[in-house]
Amino acid sequence: MTAEMIELEEEEYTSQLTLPIIKRIAGLLKPHWLWVLGFFVTIALTSWLDAYFTYINKQFVDQGITLKDPARLMELATLYGGLILIQAGFVFAFIYLAGVLGERIQYDLRKLLFNHLQKLSLSFYSQNAVGRLMARVTSDTGRVSDLVTWGIVDVTWAIMNIATSAVFMAIINWKLALIVLAAIPIMVVMAVEFRKRILTEFRRSRRANSKITGAFNENIQGVRVVKALRREDQNTREFQRLTTEMYNASYRAAWLSALFLPSVQIIAAIVLGIIIGYSGVQIRSGLITLGGINAFVSYLTFMMWPIQDLARVYAEMQHSIASAERIFKLVDTQPEVRNRPDAVPAATLLGEIEFEHVDFYYDDRTPVLKDFSLKVQAGQTIALVGPTGGGKTTIVNLLCRFYEPTRGVIRINGRDYIEYTLESIHSKIGVVLQTPHLFSGTIKDNIRYGRLEATDEEVVEAAKLAGAHDFIVTLEKGYDQEVGEGGNLLSVGQKQLISLARAVLAKPELFIMDEATSSVDTLTEALIQKGMETLMSGRTSFIIAHRLSTVRRADRILFIEDGRIVEQGTHAELLRARGRYHRLYTQQFRREMELQAGFVEG
């Protein structure tokens, strides 16, 4: 299953796939089989004792009250009291075991999803909203956990009660027991029909809920844009549409669930009437005692109430099954870029890099790169410039192997890079992005993210080389300063310098800088350029920049347009050629002069 197939609005699993889904959920229990065994044993004993209590009540009537035997009554009362204490222990045990199982399953699922998300290709995240993925990792795993705990408790308890009641009913009067058992297939058919309709509505509700989660996430993260563009009313209308969609699906599911229970109750009432009428005939014939009739009616209630409860639980389980479908659909998604079976670790990336007649499509219709060829010698600095959408970022994404060519070959050290393991390639590449991402924690933690085993001294040295040390030591807590979520307590320039320090600490063999100076002031740009020079020394480097002051020292500048190299050379050579690069450079220089003149006049 590819990334394109994971869209949340895509085709649903059919109802026939419910059994495989349940089997996969059951598979989650295998590592915890001892806890599962203990749970089933304790709940079976609890249910058997419940049924036996009713049988003791029958003996109370037949052997104690009817025969007026006080000694037997006392004996039965003592037995009853002792068994209640034993049952209390079993009840505690199976509820505790179920709770632990639920937490373990939720932990396993979240760990499974998190680890799987680490393996998925960049294209997957380009096509799936963060809020929707979060819904799977949080609410969907919680629902599956509830299914494993209280869903299993309710279902197992109901099945055990039905089974033990049927056994004791057969012991008392097998003919009456057959009448009751004949009604069960009718209820099963009814349950199957209701199940199909309820599951459909719950699936619609879950998809709508996922969209709502995504809308919340996007609106909160983009609140500044929403306010600036006055999108509040339009967003409110869109949110109202999504909530209405979820309400309607949930309403229909609730209505079907509510209809299910009375239907079961009607059948139960009919069976009870038949049992009472027929037992009246048998008691006159001496085939059943008064205590037997009382116990039989109790067993009938024990059997019918679990069936009705199963109807309720089954309806609720559909919600959890729909969540499980979504989780397993995500787990089944395979990364588009993954290791070949015979892949080997790349010893080094410090060699010749070659793009040979590379084509690349993000979809099947629009080419981003067309017959792109490029050779880069070890240690060279290559700058990529040109209009937005020309293919610059795609080139470095392919080089990092976040994507792979649609056609053509990329070679490193003369060998097709798909023959190398992804881990060995990624571990030797340092990337500084236009919008750097910092993780919650301290500045020190974020720099050390480049190499987790680095010492504090190495972290400080990397910050000095990147030009970040001077501003860090001015902060109240220095390297122990919290950066906030996404680094929102720091300026864009400060985040960029920390990101650069992180790359320095990683000691990459191949360095990539994607628009790293486009959003910073001139002073910060100078600091970043100084750090870049340190990082690029002795390394093959690719720089993407719109501000051409960043790329003047590059060994070769490539002007990329429509997925092709239309000009290349050094800064001086391209200026002399008076082509596209010259025009772009002149426009930027004139604009900077005008801005400076305006600043002076102001």
Residue 144 in domain: yes
Query: What mean pLDDT is predicted for residues 360-378?
Result: 85
Tell whether 362 and 316 lie within a shared domain. no
Q: What is the pLDDT of residue 272?
A: 75
Query: What mean pLDDT is predicted for residues 538-566?
Result: 84
Residue 260 in domain: yes
Residue 553 in domain: yes
Q: What is the pLDDT of residue 590?
A: 67
pLDDT digit string, tens, across residues 336-347: 888 888 889 888
Q: What is the pLDDT of residue 26?
A: 82
**CA–CA gap between residue 26 and residue 147 (Å, rounded):** 11
**CA–CA gap between residue 586 and residue 571 (Å, rounded):** 12
**Does the pLDDT value for residue 19 go beyond 60?**
yes
Mean residue pLDDT across the chain: 80
Residue 247 in domain: yes
Query: What mean pLDDT is predicted for residues 154-165?
Result: 83
The helix/strand/coil state of 195 is helix
Place of tokens 């209630």: 301
Residue 93 in domain: yes
Tell whether 410 and 521 lie within a shared domain. yes
Highest mean pLDDT among 309-318, 386-395, 403-412: 403-412
Query: What mean pLDDT is predicted for residues 136-154?
Result: 80
Place of tokens 């008076």: 578
DSSP letters for 397-453: HHHTTSS--SEEEEEETTEEGGGB-HHHHHTTEEEE-SS----SSBHHHHHHTT-TT
**CA–CA gap between residue 309 and residue 39 (Å, rounded):** 20
Backbone phi, psi, residue 323, to 5°: -65, -40
Query: What mean pLDDT is predicted for residues 503-513?
Result: 85
Amino acid at 39: F
Query: What mean pLDDT is predicted for residues 462-473?
Result: 86
Residue 496 in domain: yes
Tell whether 67 and 133 lie within a shared domain. yes
Question: How many distinct structural domains can be found in the chain?
Answer: 3
Q: Of 588, 557, 583, whose CA–CA distance to 570 is shortest? A: 557
Highest mean pLDDT among 16-25, 161-170, 286-295, 554-563: 554-563
**Does the pLDDT value for residue 209 go beyond 90?**
no
**Does the pLDDT value for residue 596 go beyond 60?**
no
Tell whether 232 and 284 lie within a shared domain. yes
Query: What mean pLDDT is predicted for residues 492-514?
Result: 85
> 443 near 476, Cβ under 8 Å?
no
More confidently predicted of 527 and 450 = 450
Q: What is the pLDDT of residue 528?
A: 67
CATH number, residue 450: 3.40.50.300
Tell whether 404 and 477 lie within a shared domain. no
> 121 near 403, Cβ under 8 Å?
yes
Q: How many CA atoms lie within 13 A of 9 on its CB side?
A: 8
Tell whether 140 and 179 lie within a shared domain. yes
**CA–CA gap between residue 323 and residue 491 (Å, rounded):** 40
pLDDT digit string, tens, across residues 71-127: 778 888 888 888 899 989 999 998 898 888 888 888 888 888 888 888 887 777 777
> 101 near 35, Cβ under 8 Å?
yes
Tell whether 349 and 477 lie within a shared domain. no
Point out the domain boundary residue: 456, 472, 507. 507
> 475 near 498, Cβ under 8 Å?
no
Tell whether 113 and 177 lie within a shared domain. yes
Q: How confident is the model at residue 11 (pLDDT cuts 50, 70, 90)?
A: very low
CB atoms within 10 A of CB 343: 17
Highest mean pLDDT among 20-24, 184-188, 291-295, 471-475: 471-475
CB atoms within 10 A of CB 386: 23
Of the listed ranges 1-15, 147-161, 394-408, the least confidently predicted one is: 1-15
Query: What mean pLDDT is predicted for residues 546-575?
Result: 85
Q: How confident is the model at residue 531 (pLDDT cuts 50, 70, 90)?
A: low
Percentage of the chain with pLDDT > 90?
12
> 53 near 80, Cβ under 8 Å?
yes
Provide the residue range defining the domain that includes 492: 435-507
- Burial of 517: CB neighbours in 10 Å, binned 0-12, 13-18, 19+: buried
Q: How confident is the model at residue 228 (pLDDT cuts 50, 70, 90)?
A: low
**Does the pLDDT value for residue 577 go beyond 50?**
yes
Q: What is the pLDDT of residue 14?
A: 40
Tell whether 276 and 423 lie within a shared domain. no
Highest mean pLDDT among 40-54, 171-185, 502-516, 536-550: 40-54
Q: What is the pLDDT of residue 3?
A: 39
**CA–CA gap between residue 504 and residue 85 (Å, rounded):** 67
Using the CB atoms, write b or e for 138-168: b if 16+ within 10 Å.
Answer: ebbbbbbbbbbbbbbbbbbbbbbbbebbbeb
**CA–CA gap between residue 258 and residue 247 (Å, rounded):** 16
Q: What is the pLDDT of residue 549?
A: 67
Residue 337 in domain: no
Point out the domain boundary residue: 306, 331, 356. 331
* Predicted TM-score (pTM) above 0.85: no
> 540 near 380, Cβ under 8 Å?
yes
Tell whether 280 and 222 lie within a shared domain. yes
CATH number, residue 115: 1.20.1560.10
DSSP letters for 438-501: --SSBHHHHHHTT-TT--HHHHHHHHHHHT-HHHHTTSTTGGG-B--GGGTTS-HHHHHHHHHH
Point out the domain boundary residue: 483, 507, 531. 507
Tell whether 461 and 551 lie within a shared domain. no
**CA–CA gap between residue 225 and residue 221 (Å, rounded):** 9
Percentage of the chain with pLDDT > 70?
85
**CA–CA gap between residue 181 and residue 178 (Å, rounded):** 5
Q: How confident is the model at residue 521 (pLDDT cuts 50, 70, 90)?
A: low
Of the listed ranges 199-208, 403-412, 423-432, the least confidently predicted one is: 199-208
Residue 217 in domain: yes
Tell whether 140 and 281 lie within a shared domain. yes
**CA–CA gap between residue 546 and residue 144 (Å, rounded):** 49
